[in-house]
Every structure is written in structure tokens, then in C-alpha cells.
Amino acid sequence: MSPKKAATRRTSTRTSGGTNGASPAPHSLPIGEAARALGVSVDTLRRWERAGRLTTTRDSANRRLVSEDEVRRLGGRSISKSGTGLSARNQFDGVVTAVEIWGVIALVELQAGPHRFVSIITRDAVEELGLAAGVPATATVKATSVMVARRRDQPTPTPAE
Amino acid sequence: MNIGARNQLRGTVTSVTLGAVMAEVKVDVFGKELVSAITRASAESLGLCEGSAVVVIMKATEVMLGTEG
């Protein structure tokens, strides 16, 4: 599973002033995602930066950002919407926080940024993927499996004619 | 209404594209875009449009997991 798709989405999506800190500048990745896209560690990217091999910018919270152009220049796998070769529209990169096995079925919790996901998959899949607390993983959901409910506690905008 | 689904994310609709039968609804959840494909009838009966405050719901059995490589 590739992290690029989610990274692209995150930087190309209009942000709604979320609670998870400052948003990355357009077309830039947080250094952790850039490291994943390049298949190297964050420490390596810091070393490259000190050595002048990598140019970074800073967000408003002074965190390093790496432009998608820099990632491409350094040989990162292409950052594109179809980077995973999978048609599913919704992908969230995160880290497994818990795995509970119940007979043949497993309940896996994943923390992806501010979002917590619960996935029910087979025990075989957990073992095959080596899922355990601390393992990076991507949650994928087909668009037709995503339901939408209105929040009645919020004001209703008027639909455009 | 109470829903048993484990995965519920609050967000704001950023676009609704109506097709003949289905509608593609894009939702911003804390800076990340989520896409939902629901029927056009549902989108219309919910009165969804840009700016609608929504909750996106995913059954835990519909969430697939993958690892790198």
C-alpha cells in the first residue's frame, strides 16, 4: 500500500481549519510522509538537508515540509491519485494501535492522524500482514461503503439552484 | 437515531456531483478528502450541498487494511 495517495489528497484538499495543527502548504508533504514516499527515514532526510541535498520549507509551526517536486526529484515513487493501483477512493495511512483476536476474526484499531478506525478482518489476514500495535498500515474504504448522515446540530446551508 | 457503526467521522461536504442514479459526495474531514457514493435520491433527500455538516459512517467490516510492500 502506498502512502502517496493519501499524501496527495491531504495537500490538495481544501482544509476546513481542522484541529490537528497547521496545514501543510499546497503541494508539500510533512517530512514524515516525504520520508515514506522516498523509502528512507526522517533522520536521513534531515541529514540530506544539512548536506544541501534536500530543500525544505517550514509551516507556521516551524515543522519541515518537503515539496512534491523535491520528492519526485529525489526519486520518490510518483505522487498521483492512482499511486496504489487500487480503485478505492478512500485511503488513510496510520499506525495500528490494537489488535484483538476473537476466534477466526480480528478487530484492529488504527490511528490515522486525528481519526481512529476500527477494522474487522480475518485472523489469517492479521497474521499474513503481520499486524500488531505500532505497525504502519493503510485503511481503505470503497466509496460505496461510505454512508453520509446530516448533522442536525449544525446550520443548514441553502442548496444552490 | 443510533448507529452501531464503529467508524464515524464528522466533516463538511465540499462537493456533490449528481449522476443519473448515483451521487458522488466529497467530504472534508479535518483536511482529508473522503469520497462517498450514495444514491442521488439519498443525496437529495438529505439536502446535501457544499457546506453541509455531515457524519461519514463506515462499517468496520468494510474497512480493509494494507501494509507497505
ipTM of the shown complex: 0.90
Q: Distance between CA A113 and CA B32 in Å, rounded?
A: 10
pLDDT number for residue A154: 76
**What residues contact residue B69 under an 8 Å CB cut-off, 6+ apart?**
none
B25-44 pLDDT, tens digit per residue, is: 999 998 889 999 999 999 99
- A88 and B CB contact within 8 Å: yes
Q: Distance between CA B64 and CA A119 in Å, rounded?
A: 7
Chain A residue with Cα closest to B24: A143
Q: Distance between CA B38 and CA B30 in Å, rounded?
A: 21
The pairing of beta strand A115-122 with beta strand A136-141 = unpaired
pLDDT number for residue A14: 39
Residue A16 pLDDT greater than 60, yes or no: no
Q: Do the beta carbons of residue A90 and residue B34 sit within 8 Å?
A: yes
b/e per residue A5-42 (b: at least 16 CB within 10 A): bbbbbbbebeeeebeeeebbeeebbbbbbbbbbbeeee
The more confident residue out of A154 and B13 is B13
CA A21, A24, A25, A26 dihedral sign is negative
Average pLDDT over residues A136-156: 90
Architecture of domain B7-48: Beta Barrel (2.40)
Q: Please report, for chain B, the start and end positions of each structural domain, with discontinuous segments joined by +.
A: 7-48
CA distance B20 to chain A (A): 16
CB contact under 8 A, B64 and A108: no
Chain CA centroid to CA A36, Å: 10
Nearest to A145 among B27, B46, B59 (CB): B59
**Average pLDDT value for chain A:** 78
pLDDT number for residue A161: 54
Q: Which domains can be identified in chain A, with CATH numbers? A: 4-16+23-73 (1.10.1660.10), 90-144 (2.40.50.100)
Contacting residues of B for A87, CB less than 8 Å apart? none
Specify the range with the lowest mean pLDDT, choosing from A24-28, A106-110, B59-63: A24-28
The more confident residue out of A92 and A74 is A92
Average pLDDT over residues A6-30: 48
CB contact under 8 A, A10 and B31: yes
Specify the range with the lowest mean pLDDT, choosing from A15-24, A29-38, A101-110, B7-16: A15-24
Q: Is B51 helix (H, G, I), strand (E, B) or coil?
A: coil
A62-85 pLDDT, tens digit per residue, is: 888 888 778 777 765 544 443 567
Share of chain A above pLDDT 70, in %: 76
